[in-house]
Structure 1
């Protein structure tokens, strides 16, 4: 009976041990990522990553950014930067797009079981703080997930191809809510 009760515990009861957070602002430089309705993904990613950095540093965590400016960083270099830091977690921040412009919402991607814990905590936290649809967790074999040695997650903060969501993402207050959700989700799993 106790075993069944333990299986029923929510993922928020699980903790990860880390002292450093690697924040990866997606795209950059000549790689703009998605571009819709006047928004360019690389700019949104960097803005949110810098907001998350400030929040985590205020809580005493060490933060390493894979990029701080509009520069291109290869996927291999992003993983190399991350893997130089022991006792860390890796969070890659992105915004999504689809030709089917009715699609909207937030998604979390992971590859390992600890990555799933991290992505799940972030997405649940965002779901409580950010206007938008919770689209769920998805296991993927993305380069930054398979090449990093620590718990890693890719967070898609919304679909900028959806006009309503793009309008929200264009506002600093919405990007701040996203950052607060990501930071709180990271802090919630810190053991």
Structure 2
């Protein structure tokens, strides 16, 4: 066997291992779940961000309900941490998710900043599986929603830290930015956000 032939076989074997590793990684990023726990951020005395005539807690609940409707229409089971304008402790939100087997947790928020030029969505994760789900949701929002995405980020938020299942926190946009606030104020934009979140969740799900 010539040295050149041996090198060729080694190269082919290396490529095969690389391809197999990539396939394994892709498979690992596919999530298996039957229920989506939808967490509408804030509520009750905790209004969240309040800018440009908008209050975060109301937007969160509206989008959460739209996400629930979209997931149910596609055959997935859902659970909500709140359905009304009530305060729910962060640990209680995590406990709701932890009681439900084969679930993922998606917390929905809107952002605010003193830097009013900042706009765009963000998705936060705390685990490798959370990162995969965050990536899928981010890609979906970027492709479908005006305003785009600022990216995905590691976040040590309490609801992510205490939720045992795969969990992400979605910031749907900056209501401190006047142009983005005007979009978020419209039901049509909030529906697009919800549909994009649903599509991202489905894209991350193992078939």
TM-score category by the smaller chain? over 0.9
Displacement after TM superposition at 1:58 (Å):
0.6
Higher helix share: 2
1:171 and 2:171 aligned: no
Deviation by residue 1:50-84 (Cα, 9 ceiling, x = unmatched): 00000000111110000000000000100010100
Q: Could you tell me the TM-score, scaled by structure 1's length? A: 0.95
CA deviations on 1:88-107 (whole Å, 9 max, x unpaired) are: 00000000010000000010
Task: Tell me the CA shift for residue 133 of structure 1.
Answer: 2.9
Other-structure match for 1:136: 151
How far did 1:134 drift?
A: 1.6
Shift of 1:7: 6.0
* SS of structure 2 residue aligned to 1:31: coil
Q: Distance in 2 between matches of 1:113 and 1:12?
A: 12
- Is the CA contact (8 Å cut-off) linking 1:12 and 1:121 kept in structure 2? no
Cross-structure match for 1:2: 16
Question: Which secondary structure does the structure 2 equivalent of 1:125 belong to?
Answer: helix
Structure 2 gap ranges (5+): 1-14
Mapping 1:27-176, distance limit 5 Å? 27-176=42-191
With normalisation by structure 2, the TM-score equals 0.88
| Cα separation, 1, equivalents of 2:22 and 2:156 | 27
User: How far 1:159 sits from its partner (Å)?
Assistant: 0.2
Choose between structure 1 and 2 for higher RCO, CA contacts under 8 A separated by at least 6 residues.
1
Taking the aligned partners of 2:151 and 2:64, their CA distance within structure 1 comes to: 21
Unaligned runs of 5+ in 1: none
The separation in 1 between residues aligned to 2:150 and 2:17, in whole angstroms, is 30
- Give 2:7's aligned residue: none
User: How many correspondences in the alignment?
Assistant: 190
> Aligned partners of 1:35 and 1:86: how far apart in 2?
35
* Alignment map for 1:6-17 (pairs within 5 Å): 14-17=29-32
